[in-house]
Structure 1
């Protein structure tokens, strides 16, 4: 399996990032173990989670990290996988918070649930917009120096605050974000491409898009409102049931047919063909869904494919 490095780090990853939000939600512990076994068995090694997954089940979260931690301990494979988790998200117990106090407390709780003494990639999940950037980065500096975190990254951080973070890090010799996790896919292009892509290039970040399949819409499963009840996540695809969304699905169908592939595989291959995209984040709850993910890094879209998809998604 070909691997690439994340930004300026020494973390080497295969080019699909498994989204752990399903662990403890739509997959129980045993099912999660089976999916993780299949994922790494196919040569992939990059797992994404957050301290708050899946807070919508119990109000607090922690299930996903706990399942991943139990799996790594049972398999004895901690050094073979790259684990990303996040801090700062809102739950029923606390608001969005990236203060030093919250960060130092949260990292220890994540380490305990993950049953490890280090996190490979630690994201600012959401920016509270009020904590001084210097305070957040000084906390990251402390935990990196303590060996608890290897590298830091950013997710839902505004372009201005992201730029400020690099300026403060440079001035104070704090750790710098090596990766960005934005909302980006074939039906959600504008904000990333206009506001974040220039910063990604400027600061040499790798990009791990979330909602890579637009809440499942880009699998082609949801083509009418009647289809939205096909899964517990179906309502998240409702916003794309419009002319643009259906045009994208039509283009995906055509390209998938050309390559004897699947719409989801093509949508991921399109992401992988974009500059700086390292590993799209995507989940699966079955072996058949996993195969569509595994096929994406192997699918090479040609100029005609890319032009058709670009035109449909404008």
Structure 2
């Protein structure tokens, strides 16, 4: 069964590997999504990540990730068994230059998510994007209002730069507010080549050395996305043909050295490269709950292994940023 922890600054008990649902609808049918969700919960998982914008990049699908999840919640009567994290405030794909980090658009996304999921509040609500032209205190105040109204319980920041998070933390401490409880930026064991990210969206924020040190000092939890580096180590190991965008993103000497270390650990432990790379995140010196998606239920076996796997401290430190 998967390991659980109390997320710092909250009363939420969460499985330490979060199930991502961005592929529900686009890549997985409703039936396949149900099978993944059923298997994840049966393995002890209870932390599920979605977003109002997931699948809206395909016009006819709408917010089908939340649709499938809401349908499953109703059919399985699972509302009290899991913790849902979803997101709002993402830009419109038809007008990416227009910020939607405004109270009216955040509320619109939140209301649609509540209705689709069939819940009266969101356990953990993420702001999916930032707008650096808006004072961070205004953003915190909007979220605090939603907490007071009972629409959300806790909230976090996804794709927010370090200086913005530091400002938000200082403001919340000064005013005695709840503030951001966690950060969700891109991070995996595999390092991304500068300027070579597979997703070229300029609004994405990646973990870097300074941000990593700040997390160590502050102990702010991180719930990173793209935590498996899109299966880079597995593709390398199986000598599968690698897409050019993956080579551009991850092919470098550091990652090749990491791969050799993972192969050695696999030989010693019998654990897959995938599970080892996820466990590298769960073993960090601050709470790290990686978000990972699967295409088949049997892949969730690696979640269970990674959840409780203890890695030597020198492996964590050697490949840290």
For 1:29, the equivalent position in structure 2 comes to 30
Contact 2:144–2:179 (Cα < 8 Å) also in 1: no
Q: Superposition RMSD on alpha carbons, in Å?
A: 2.5
Q: Does 1:90 align with 2:91?
A: yes
For 2:270, the equivalent position in structure 1 comes to 260
Contact 2:191–2:250 (Cα < 8 Å) also in 1: no
Contact 1:214–1:237 (Cα < 8 Å) also in 2: no
Q: Does 1:279 align with 2:279?
A: no
For 1:228, the equivalent position in structure 2 comes to 242
Distance 1:53 1:186, change over 3 A: same
Q: Aligned equivalents of 2:213 and 2:23: distance in 1?
A: 32
Contact 2:18–2:292 (Cα < 8 Å) also in 1: yes
Contact 2:24–2:64 (Cα < 8 Å) also in 1: yes
Q: Does 1:123 align with 2:141?
A: no
Contact 1:255–1:305 (Cα < 8 Å) also in 2: no
How far residue 126 of structure 1 moved from its aligned partner, in angstroms, is: 1.3
How far residue 58 of structure 1 moved from its aligned partner, in angstroms, is: 2.4
For 1:187, the equivalent position in structure 2 comes to 190
How far residue 100 of structure 1 moved from its aligned partner, in angstroms, is: 1.2
After TM superposition, what 4+ stretches of structure 1 lie above 6 angstroms from structure 2?
none
Q: Aligned equivalents of 1:89 and 1:60: distance in 2?
A: 17
Distance 1:151 1:203, change over 3 A: farther
Contact 2:219–2:287 (Cα < 8 Å) also in 1: no
Q: Aligned equivalents of 2:263 and 2:37: distance in 1?
A: 29
Q: Does 1:206 align with 2:207?
A: no
Q: State the TM-score, normalized to the length of structure 1.
A: 0.88
Distance 1:216 1:131, change over 3 A: same
How far residue 76 of structure 1 moved from its aligned partner, in angstroms, is: 0.6
Q: Show CA shifts across 1:91-136 (max 9, x none).
A: 3244342111211111111111111111111112111212222222
Distance 1:250 1:201, change over 3 A: closer
How far residue 281 of structure 1 moved from its aligned partner, in angstroms, is: 0.7
Contact 1:60–1:91 (Cα < 8 Å) also in 2: no
Gaps of 5+ in 1: none
Higher relative CO (CA 8 A, sep ≥ 6), structure 1 or 2?
Answer: 2
Q: Does 1:295 align with 2:298?
A: no
How far residue 159 of structure 1 moved from its aligned partner, in angstroms, is: 1.2
1:107 to 79, 99, 110: 110
Contact 1:265–1:296 (Cα < 8 Å) also in 2: yes
Q: Does 1:144 align with 2:147?
A: yes
Q: Aligned equivalents of 2:264 and 2:70: distance in 1?
A: 41
Gaps of 5+ in 2: 195-205
**SS, match of residue 22 in structure 2:** helix
For 2:181, the equivalent position in structure 1 comes to 178
Distance 1:236 1:73, change over 3 A: farther
How far residue 30 of structure 1 moved from its aligned partner, in angstroms, is: 0.7
Q: Aligned equivalents of 1:265 and 1:78: distance in 2?
A: 28
Q: Aligned equivalents of 1:177 and 1:8: distance in 2?
A: 9
Distance 1:60 1:170, change over 3 A: farther
Contact 1:100–1:135 (Cα < 8 Å) also in 2: no
Contact 1:59–1:91 (Cα < 8 Å) also in 2: no
Q: Aligned equivalents of 1:263 and 1:152: distance in 2?
A: 32
Distance 1:59 1:169, change over 3 A: farther
Answer 1 or 2: which has greater helix percent: 1
How far residue 172 of structure 1 moved from its aligned partner, in angstroms, is: 3.9
For 1:247, the equivalent position in structure 2 comes to 257
Aligned residue pairs total 306
For 2:58, the equivalent position in structure 1 comes to 57
